[in-house]
Structure formats: structure tokens, C-alpha cells
A and B are shown apart, each in its own frame.
Chain A
Amino acid sequence: MKRLLLFIPLLLAVGLGVVLFAGIGKDKSALESALIDKPMPEFELASLQNPDQRYRSDVFEQKVVLLNVWGTWCPSCRVEHPDLVRLARDEGVPIYGLNYKDNRDAALQWLDELGNPYELVLFDPQGKLGFDLGVYGAPETYIIDSKGIVRFRHVGVVDNELWETELEPRIRELREDS
């Protein structure tokens, strides 16, 4: 019995090791969104391309979409842009853009040069909707279901692997539900 007690420190050390090992490689900077399973915040924003066309939150109540938060000032957005273009073209997923704290001319030029994967782009120069969404760094990508409920958030670059492992399965499931 006493001999077995001597193993307690070993067990504690192994336990600690397992916990710490699980933390290795985890991205600490990626936070869970506070809006998961909550409706999109209320907003009224103009389209990037057409300042007279204004959108409200009901624009999200039609189908499952990806909402991509981007800006021309954001280097990682440039990295993920070709992947977004490919997803829109090959995977047929509707992507809405939220142009965040940006300049209209620069943003339009960006879409001209790099291609436009977005069905519509909301222009949010003050970052108001971004703030209400809890955006803390672009790029961020959300899945919004057909009732306008936020279902998933990814902070950082969207690439093919993320599409296959996180985005596509969730979108498929949400489409089946609705």
C-alpha cells in the first residue's frame, strides 16, 4: 500500500504533462466568439459598390453564408483572398464581405485587381458592425445560418484545409437543417 503511494508524484507529473502537451500548438490568440448561436447584431450599412444601396441585418435571413471581415490594410487578407475567390467559384458557397475600417476607393481597387468573391460587400468604415460582432482583428470569417444566427467564427486566414475541416461540414449540416 505504502509503495503504491510512492507513485502519486509520478501520476501527478504525467497528468501535468498531458495537460501541458495538449496546449502545445494551440492558437491562444483565437478566441471563441461571444455571439455564437446569437442573431447578427442590428445594423444599417451601405454597399461598398453602391453608396445608395443600404442593407440591414435581414439581408442575412435568406441562406447560409460565409461572412468575411476584411480590409485593404490587412496583409493576411491578401493571403486568403485567392482562396476566397476559389471557394466562391468552385464550391458555390455564398460569401458576404464586411469591408472593415477601410477606404472605399482602395477597397474597390482591391476587388478589381484580385477578383471579387463576394455576393455583396457591406461598407463599414467606422467599424461599427465590426465592433458589435466582436471583431478584434481582420481577417475573421463567420458562418451565418439562414435565420441570421451566428454559428461559427474563425479568426485568421481561410485556406483550403480550414474549408475542408471546419467550414464545409458545418455549412452542409446547417443547410440540411433548414
Chain B
Amino acid sequence: MRPLILVILLCVVGTVQASTESYPLASDADRERFQELTKELRCPKCQNQSIADSNAPIASDMREAVHKLVQEGQSNEDIMLAMTSRFGEFVRYRPELDPRTFLLWFTPLIVIVLGLIAVAIVVIRSRRNATSEPVLTEDERSKVDAMLAQVDDPDAPDNGR
């Protein structure tokens, strides 16, 4: 088990280093920013990879562009805008909240709320049933009382059998 974990960790370390090596930046802050941005941007060609991970030519173009903009000292927002204005909101793993992406952001919340409402309805109903509806009619109750009396006093005359 332990060797396996080590191997997995080594793979992770390898890819992270590869993405910084070829893109030299002056400060640690900039390097961190570059890492963050390239992980946050999605490759339009190979859609389940970030541009940090992808080998597609377009991903390397985008990495170069991000690198250049970070060097120029542009803010993260400006860099994101430069990418989305060319490739669309699609390239952000966390797209801006707007009417088009509303469902994307809020479907989980909506489903949870609907689920809670459904659970609440079920619970309230079962409670109401438990309290309000009499379980036994008067007639049944007297029969039960008679049976219980018999159990308590086995010598009493058996009127049931």
C-alpha cells in the first residue's frame, strides 16, 4: 500500500514541477499566480484538462499568454477576461455567475432544498397520523381490556373459547 501511495505522490510532484520549469517568473507570488491561473483555465481542445495539464498546442499557447500577462503584472481578473473574451466562459472551471450559469451554480442547492421539503412533508404527515387518528375504536378497546384482564387472571372464566 505504502509504495503505491509514494508512486502516486511522485506523479503529482512531477507534473507540478514540469509546468513551472519552462515558464520562469521573477517572484514566488507570480509563480503561485501562474500556477493558480493555469489550473483554473480549462483547455478548449481537450475539455477535461486544465491548460496546466494539457499537451494540446492551444493549451501551450494559452499558458504562454498567461505567462506573458503575469510578467506584465496584469491582475488575475484581467488575465481571466483576456482568456474568456477569446475562448468564452467555457474555459473557466468556475464560470462567472450570470443568468446562463445560474442553474450550473444553484442546481445542487435547489435539489437539497427540494429534498428537505420532501422530508419535512413526510415527517409532518406521519406525526399527524400518529397523534390524531385513534388507533382503536371503543368497541375494540373493551375487547382488548377483556383479553388483558384474562391474561392477568388466568382463573377467570374463558368467554372467548
Contacts and interface: CB of A to CB of B under 8 A. Distances in A.
Contact of A134 (B47, B57, B87): B87
Interface in A128-143: 131-137
A136 B41 CA distance: 14
Size category of the B interface is 10 to 19
A60 B47 CA distance: 31
B57 A32 contact: no
Contacts, number: 35
Contacts of A136: 44-45, 58, 87
A37 B29 CA distance: 37
Contacts of A26: none
Contacts of A132: 86
Interface string B116-146: 0000000000000000000000000000000
Contacts of A131: 61, 65, 86
A63 interface: no
Range of interface residues on A (Cβ < 8 Å): 10 to 19
Given A131-B61, A131-B65, A34 B45 contact: no
A58 B61 CA distance: 26
A98 to B, nearest CB: 15
A164 B126 CA distance: 62
A134 B57 CA distance: 13
B46 to A, nearest CB: 9
B45 A134 contact: no
A31 B61 CA distance: 18
Interface of A: 28-29, 31-35, 101, 127, 131-137
Interface of B: 44-45, 47, 57-58, 61, 65, 84-90
